[in-house]
A and B are shown apart, each in its own frame.
Chain A
Amino acid sequence: MTAHRLLAMTAPLREDFVIGHHDIGDAVRPPRLALVGGIHGDELTGIFVLSRLAHFLTGVVAGRHPGHRLRERVVIVPAVNVLGVNVRSRRWPFDGTDINRMFPGYDAGETTQRIAHAVFALTRTAYYRVDVHSSNLDFEEVPQVRLYAPEPAERATAPLFGLPAIIELRMNAVYTTTIHHAWRQAPGENFVLQAGHAGVLDPATCDRLFRALVTFVQRAGILVGSRIATEDDEVHYFGPDQTVPLISAHAGFFVTRLEVGRWVQAGDVIGQVFDGFDGTLRHEVHTPVAGMLSGVRRQPLLFEGDLVARIQTRQPTPLHVQTHLTGQGQ
């Protein structure tokens, strides 16, 4: 039995609610790996993939996957914002709190501070700590590892996921309240994974993320046995000055046919902006730089100044603007 109650709380007018987690492997040892998903209730990809990973690792321990052995303890919280998942709310539904602005939490504080405290207490002793996100309702992200002001060991470990993009970012004031930042106070290595698009469950993205996690647990020596993930994307590392946001100068209806992860050339059309009343083409969004399309807008309604895409350049560029990453799915 690997399922446990991380936190049980009363609710005003319904039954008590439980935030559950999986604790897989030798419970006497500190966990080697902690995985957290669903801090935002609308980010379904991470929740689903972590549940599948828990199923797989539980099966390994139970002997259902001959030839594999789990050498280390792994804890997995598929969904922190349980009520948010059930009512399709990104935030904690009762008071609109973003749980990822509540860390490290406080066990005698507000409800979401208590939730944050419990999740942090469970995961902080793991050596590898991974927070899995799925962007937001507006934007799709290529499966990627995000590093915030990383330590050298984290830079070295990030490629073990085998994901196509590793994106290094600087820390900012808002992110100091995230679980990732809270983890940084304890020894170990910390990663944010971003993949897909909130509110949807794309099977290919789920498969890619699942393979990344299995690859990681194998390469990190947590799981031994024959390789399950047989193919690897080419991994690209993008430093803190290699992210270029593409901003629309016009409002309207945004249309794009591009897929995330593809490479574009300077001058390529990324999408078009139409007037939603008379149907005229108002604007074509061109990329000023060549690089990987790491994220693209999926919400067609566009405000003036909205982010429509993000390009990762092969070299540092002065067009880099950190500000547009704020609020994007984390």
Chain B
Amino acid sequence: MEITQAPILTLELPYREQLQLWRSRFRGGPGPRVALVSGIHGDELEGLYVCHRIAGWLEALAQTQPAALRGTVELYPALNPIGIDTLQRFVPVFDTDLNRNFPGHPEGLLPQRLAESVMGELAGMSLVIDIHASNVFLREIPQVRIAEEFKGTLVPLANAMNIDVIWLHGSITVLESTIAHSLNSRGVPCLVVEMGVGMRITPAFTDQLLTGILHVWRRLGVLGDDVVLPPLSHAPVIADDHNVHYLNAATSGLFVPEVEHWTSVTRGQRLGCIVSPYEGRRLSEVRSPVDGLLFTLREYPVVYEGSLMARIMGLGDAHVAAEGV
């Protein structure tokens, strides 16, 4: 197994520094190439830790069973390196969401050059997994989000990812400028993982996803059949635009949850309330509109009128993925 770390793009900064986009590559046999990408948003750190854990797992494999890597694994942990280094979600200075700049352009502005460079490296991959960590406001259960138009290819892969939810969503034009849509449109399967919360790492979720990623890679032939993996422990339920219910704040204040994340809730159950620090009464009670599973829960307490506090998957419509794990 050959392990290398090298920059794939170097750009000058205004004052005597450079921006470099780094990749770790684990090259085994001639089998399929796969990749993890993360850190498109500088405040989403869960994927960085997943990359670290995958790197550690592969480095251990190199010591104990190097021939078991039948293909190539590439890690791109920090697609927005300055954003991560400066604690900014968007690309600093350019104030743009890097995930709205794909497929990029070789002669474009810095975000477009970053995007184009990554797209070039990912061409021909058998699978790319793009790991997100929600934002600083909302905590997400490990899930894979798939655009309806690509579900035929992607749902069978997502089923083996050891995640809890597959969310099928309709096409939104603006999402055409994401890395996932750009890759899937070019025939490179790309799964979007959302898990945890911005600016934090959730080790339990990392363990869960790590197992799923390794299982999928083994299924694809990146890893040999003789590799022993922890058993899958999670089977996804499928959410879509018809069974996901959004709970938006009726007024502004502090949202205080009264339930745990990823729990069953019943219609009418109080999930939390919105309060004011100026007075003792509750400004608003937040109740579930359906029987279901609470798969998104607000982490950041301050809410404006309209702020999203929770998402619930209605159980009446949810179903276990057709293809089991």
Contacts and interface: CB of A to CB of B under 8 A. Distances in A.
A108 interface: yes
Given A90-B95, A109-B248, A305-B11, A323 B302 contact: no
Interface residues of A, number: 42
B252 A10 contact: yes
B177 A305 contact: no
Contact of A114 (B12, B14, B303, B305): B305
Interface string B304-321: 111110000000000000
Interface residues of B, number: 43
Interface of A: 9-13, 90-91, 94-96, 101, 108-114, 136, 173-174, 176-177, 247, 250-253, 276-277, 301-307, 321, 323-324, 326-327
23 contacts: A9-B252, A10-B252, A10-B253, A12-B302, A94-B302, A96-B89, A96-B90, A111-B305, A173-B173, A176-B173, A176-B174, A177-B173, A251-B11, A251-B13, A276-B14, A277-B15, A301-B15, A303-B93, A304-B12, A304-B110, A305-B113, A321-B105, A327-B95
B107 interface: yes
Contact of B105 (A101, A112, A251, A323): A323
B277 interface: yes
A233 to B, nearest CB: 30
A94 B177 contact: no
Nearest to A92: B304
A307 B307 contact: no
A321 B177 CA distance: 17
Interface in B62-95: 89-90, 93-95
Contact of B107 (A110, A113, A253, A323): A323
Interface of B: 11-16, 19, 89-90, 93-96, 100-101, 105, 107-113, 135, 137, 173-174, 176-177, 246, 248, 251-254, 277, 302-308
Given A250-B12, A305-B109, A307-B109, 11 more contacts: A10-B252, A96-B90, A110-B248, A112-B306, A177-B173, A251-B11, A302-B14, A303-B109, A324-B108, A326-B101, A327-B95
B305 A173 contact: no
B310 to A, nearest CB: 13
Contacts of A247: 107
A306 B305 contact: no
A65 B109 CA distance: 48
Contacts of B177: 173-174
Contacts of B248: 108-110
